[in-house]
Structure 1
Amino acid sequence: MKRWVLFLNLLLFFLIKFQCGNSNNITSNPIDQQQKDRVLELPGLSVNVNFSHYSGYVRVNEKSKRTLFYWFFEAVEEPFSKPIVLWLQGGPGCSSIALGEAEEIGPFHVNADGKSLYVNPYSWNQVANILFLDSPVGTGFSYTNDPSELLTNGDQRTADDSLVFLLKWFERFPQYKGRDFYITGESYAGHFIPQLAQAIVRYKWSAQESSINLKGYMVGNALTDDFNDHSGVSEFLWSTGLISDQTYKLRKIYCHHVSFLHSSDDCKKISDVVSTELGKIDIYSIYTPFCTRNVSDSDSLKRFKNNGSNNEKYDPCTRQYSSIYFNLPAVQKALHVNPEAAPPKWEACRASYLDVQVVCATDDPVYSMFDSGDTDTVIPVTSTRYNIDALGLPPASPWRPWYDDGQVGGWTQQFTGLNFVTVRGAGHEIPRTRPKLGLVLFKSFLSGSPMPSLSPRITDS
């Protein structure tokens, strides 16, 4: 068995070497391409920023011209002393550019007019260099010359492509080689992230190569195991009073043993009942408003135009703004999108996905954190707790609240090799619904320190 594993690891090593050894970058000189990828200006951005950012393509397969799109933001201050953080979106098939950058952790968010940007005061590039990747192929601006690949995406190829991307990206940006490297993301990234981490560790062992200095990964509201995830969804929907007793019992019978991506007919039928009982709410954030605007209507855009916000006021329609912005020809040109490879209509989420593998958070010898917004019904906090319990990890600290500005930000518990954190009042996209708390969470993750405790200066009156 060990010989077979060794053979597979060596095969992966030589395949990656073959892909990375081909001259299939946009130019023959990766460092020259770095400067060509630099974004000099963005339509609708009216302020000057004191950090550089780059966007472009990296070819990961020469035969089919499978090519992944990225957008990289240097840290606001001292980027060459800060870690590199890769953000992977879920879906599967949702764009990290659309969601991660433009409505969550990125420095530029889109205004309600769909044509202008404002600077996110809680951007994660305040403390790290952030790399957004559109993966798997077919997501966002990533493309292939073989349309059949859009129907055969799977966990294994996604991890392999992402590894090839990283190795070639570090050749293009050699100044970041060996820097502390972390992977973050949410939702279906509960599959993407641990499997990419495992691929990096195995490649590093096989190749004795250390340009990717993986230190840890963090995933929010993670899709992990179908049975535990479904169990957690049923418990959450019922315990929050969103569905009836009868529907709760039927969901446990028909849905707990089926895939989230490829459900059964019986589970689909009971899911329709769940939707009816829920009503018109945002299932990703049950206590915030549901988007009712038709922002594709120019008159509606004029009525609802705003200039961004420096507070935590929640706007449920941000994805619609991004759909307008990233379809603008001037924006695509500024981001170096190849017009011949660009989709006829850019969409935030659009790729198909077939092959699914179960993941295990203990496969990789790196620090890991699972975080969970507690108002999400899609992959709720109960699902994450079931999955952590299934790992059988010994507790390393008691369950306790954590604080920000004297208020409970959520709850946390450390286990051997894993830290679990909930974020109070956050939905599926923690940095979107609770951006300030999301930044506190991220800082704690990077430092490897426990979540903040209540200051001893704050006492009851």
Structure 2
Amino acid sequence: MYDFFWTHALISDETAEGIDKNCNFTAAGAATSALCDDASDEAGESLRDIDIYNIYAPNCQSEKLVTPPIAPSIENFDPCTDYYVDAYLNRPDVQKAMHANVTRLDHPWSACSEVLTRWVDSAKTVLPIIRELMKNNIRVWVYRLETLTGECPSLPADSLSTSSSSLWRQNGGQTVRGAGHEVPSYQPRRALVLVQNFLAGKALPDCKECEQN
């Protein structure tokens, strides 16, 4: 992920070097060093106003927005969506309905808080899940996107007991152009075409008619 940031000039050479030298992200749940934390904090500060799930997305111009527009458009991506979600999930009536915050925390809920700092059950690959679905005759359509910083095909490949015979290339699935992590949010029309054709068991059409405006 940080290599992606660096190669796209989003973090400095010094920050990237500090992360590469002092951080080990391969061991799930492993404690990080102070030098690694400092370098990661520097990267976070550089990326503060950037959507890391789609680095080309526009910025939200107001962090005080709490409600979405009355008539949202399928044509455009709304960069302020996260603020609507935070405001909604911090409403007392919503938390009561979800049986959440029963201990009455002294701080608001946020999607990426500092409460949990070690994620130890992150899967390196979803291939076993896909195999299990296919074995049970459940249709699977794998699609990818263009602007997600965390896409690392080399990570699961490192653990395979095989030798490389050719350069890595995408050789299957579908790509949603111009989309970030949450595909329907960034490219709603293309996502709709993708889902509709999958449910209908049809191949994807020439998508000129579903281009974003």
State the TM-score, normalizing by the size of structure 1: 0.33
* Equivalent in the alignment of 1:31: none
1:148-227 equivalence runs, <5 A: none
User: What are the ranges of 5 or more consecutive residues in structure 2 without an aligned counterpart?
Assistant: 135-139, 163-168, 209-213
Distance 1:447 1:360, change over 3 A: farther
Cα distance in 2 for partners of 1:313, 1:263 equals: 41
* Equivalent in the alignment of 2:104: 344
- Helix, strand or coil for the counterpart of 1:372? strand
Q: Which amino acid aligns with 1:321?
A: Y
* Equivalent in the alignment of 1:356: 121
1:18-417 equivalence runs, <5 A: 233-259=1-27, 262=30, 264-265=32-33, 266-278=35-47, 280-295=49-64, 306-328=69-91, 337-338=98-99, 342=102, 344=104, 347=109, 349=111, 352=116, 355-356=120-121, 358-363=123-128, 364-367=131-134, 368-377=140-149, 379=150, 381=151, 383=152, 385-387=153-155, 389-390=157-158, 413-414=171-172
Cα distance in 1 for partners of 2:88, 2:2 equals: 37
Instruction: Number of aligned residue pairs: give it.
Output: 189
C-alpha deviation, 1:289, in angstroms: 2.5
Do 2:28 and 2:119's aligned partners in 1 also have CA atoms closer than 8 Å?
A: no
Cα distance in 2 for partners of 1:424, 1:372 equals: 9
Specify which of 409, 413, 425 is matched with residue 178 of structure 2. Answer: 425
Cα distance in 2 for partners of 1:376, 1:309 equals: 24
C-alpha deviation, 1:359, in angstroms: 4.4
C-alpha deviation, 1:435, in angstroms: 1.9
C-alpha deviation, 1:441, in angstroms: 3.2
Report the aligned-residue RMSD. 4.0
Larger Rg belongs to? 1
- Helix, strand or coil for the counterpart of 2:192? helix
Q: Which amino acid aligns with 1:374?
A: E
Specify which of 424, 434, 437 is matched with residue 190 of structure 2. Answer: 437
State the TM-score, normalizing by the size of structure 2: 0.63
Do 1:287 and 1:375's aligned partners in 2 also have CA atoms closer than 8 Å?
A: yes
Do 1:319 and 1:348's aligned partners in 2 also have CA atoms closer than 8 Å?
A: no
User: What are the ranges of 5 or more consecutive residues in structure 1 without an aligned counterpart?
Assistant: 1-232, 393-398, 400-411, 457-461
**Identity percentage over the alignment?**
27
Distance 1:347 1:246, change over 3 A: closer
- Helix, strand or coil for the counterpart of 1:422? strand
C-alpha deviation, 1:376, in angstroms: 2.7
Structure showing greater relative contact order (alpha-carbon pairs closer than 8 Å, 6 or more residues apart)? 2
C-alpha deviation, 1:307, in angstroms: 0.7
